[in-house]
Structure 1
Amino acid sequence: MKRAVGILLVDDHAVVRAGFRMLLSASPGIEVIGEAERGEQAIQLYQEVKPDVLVMDLSMPGIGGLETIRRIVQRDADAKILVFSVHQEQVYVSRALDAGALGYITKNSAPGILAEAIAAVLQGVTYVERGLMKSSGEHLSGNHQTIIADFSPREFDVFSLLAQGLTVHKIADQLCLGHKTVANYATQIKKKLQVATTTELAHIAVNLGLMQR
């Protein structure tokens, strides 16, 4: 008898995990063998349960989704990681794939897309939901595009959270960094983008399609 595909499901919302668990359980040959609510826990569980595919969100407490992907891929270059996220902006897709994910779909995708994406990623095939991989020029333009594209992974994480309105202290807690470290990142980011306030950062993020109004 063919062994079921083992899935490690990672999302910080229990209700979301329950919904996707039900969806996956309805797919023949797929079994959820572990669940985690934050990146650090996901890394530990990945080592313990050795899933065939890791299905995970990007937005979560602690080190965050992108850093979680990077650390898992550093430990296992053959890791099969599928991102499912509310973020539809191309820059998030690119960042996830650059970090080491093989697939990217949105949480509002059609039910059959999840199983289809898992099957592709399991085979080592890159899978991105149709319509997400648009030309970056449709979303980013001008000098800000170049600057943001050159951000380090951690700078991009801090920039995204600042633009969402989080304070330096909350970002530090979420990313498990020192407050002074995050404050330094914030200063560097504002200097590079030539702005003085987080409101201006939010305007840039919205104008470039990195977040919704």
Structure 2
Amino acid sequence: MISVLIADDHNLVREALVMALNSDPALEVESVGSMDEVKHHLTEKGPVQVVLLDLVMPGMKGLPSVEEVVRLNADGAVALFSGNVVSGQVQEVLTLGCMGVIPKTMPLRSLANAIKLVADGEVFVPVSLSAARNRSGESNRSLLSPRENSILQFVSQGLTNKEIAWRLSVSEVTIKANMRTICSKLDAKNRASAVINARNAGFI
């Protein structure tokens, strides 16, 4: 089970997300409403697998506070969780050690998938912020694994999941799981949307 700490000062948003995300058997979600509460939680209870950190809440002092949370949660991951993120902030928070940026505007199902990706050690940045670069300084193309890039190329050529599975010598179930991940990373609702978003971002 993935332990998640949501740090956001909007009580309604926080409580709704905790209730909704805890319905996923793979997630165990708690929440706090200030920087002091984040520090207390991580100090007293220890690191969690994923912290969703809002930049604007009581006690936050911008990027120095982000860096402090990354340090306190060194055994886990931290992702910026904000309703208004610009591409310039993406590079800054990734440089500080964050594992990505998760907009509050994401659909709930996509949010759960993004949390799982971050918990697995993958950097998550939605395609809408594709002008940013990841921590290694490479293009956001590297946010997709080599297999995901291959699958996306096949999808753009009109191949079905079954045909792609045959070409890659894996099961169709594996391809479906990969497609869910690709859609989450590209902020896409379906296969067609994933291809369009990837083309717009210059991935394919």
Please say if residues 42 and 73 of structure 2, whose CA atoms lie closer than 8 Å, have aligned partners that are also in contact.
no
Does the aligned pair in 2 maintain the 1:93–1:133 contact within 8 Å? no
SS at match of 1:8: strand
Moved over 4 A (4+): none
Aligned equivalent of 2:124: 127
Within 5 Å, give how 1:1-213 maps onto structure 2.
4-32=1-29, 34-49=30-45, 50-64=47-61, 66-134=63-131
1:196 matched to which residue of 2?
none
Change (3 A) 1:110 1:47: same
Is the 2:53–2:81 contact (alpha carbons within 8 Å) kept by the matching residues of 1?
yes
Q: Deviations over 1:105-127 (max 9, x none)?
A: 11111222211111111111111
Secondary structure (helix, strand or coil) at the match of 1:84 reads strand
Q: Secondary structure at the match of 1:128?
A: coil
State the one-letter code of the partner of 1:44.
Answer: H
Q: Which runs of 5 or more structure 2 residues have no equivalent in the other structure?
A: 134-204
Query: Aligned in 2, Cα 1:43/1:134: closer, same or farther, shift over 3 Å?
Result: same
SS at match of 1:116: helix
SS at match of 2:68: helix
Q: Please report the TM-score for the alignment, with normalisation by the length of structure 2.
A: 0.58
Cα 1:76–1:88 change in 2 (3 A) is closer
Query: CA offset at residue 81 of structure 1?
Result: 0.9
> Aligned pair count?
132
Larger deviation, residues 19-28 vs 65-74 = 65-74
**Percent of residue pairs identical:** 30
What letter corresponds to residue 47 of structure 1 in structure 2?
Answer: T
Equivalent AA in structure 2 for residue 36 of structure 1: V
Question: Which amino acid is 1:23 matched to?
Answer: A
For the aligned residue pairs, the C-alpha RMSD in angstroms reads 2.0
- Counterpart amino acid of 1:102? M
Please give the secondary structure, in 2, of the residue aligned with 1:127.
Answer: coil
SS of 2:70's equivalent in the other structure is helix
TM-score (norm 1): 0.56
* Unaligned residue ranges in structure 1 (runs of 5+): 137-213
- The Cα of 1:74 is off from its aligned counterpart by 2.8
Amino acid at match of 1:61: P
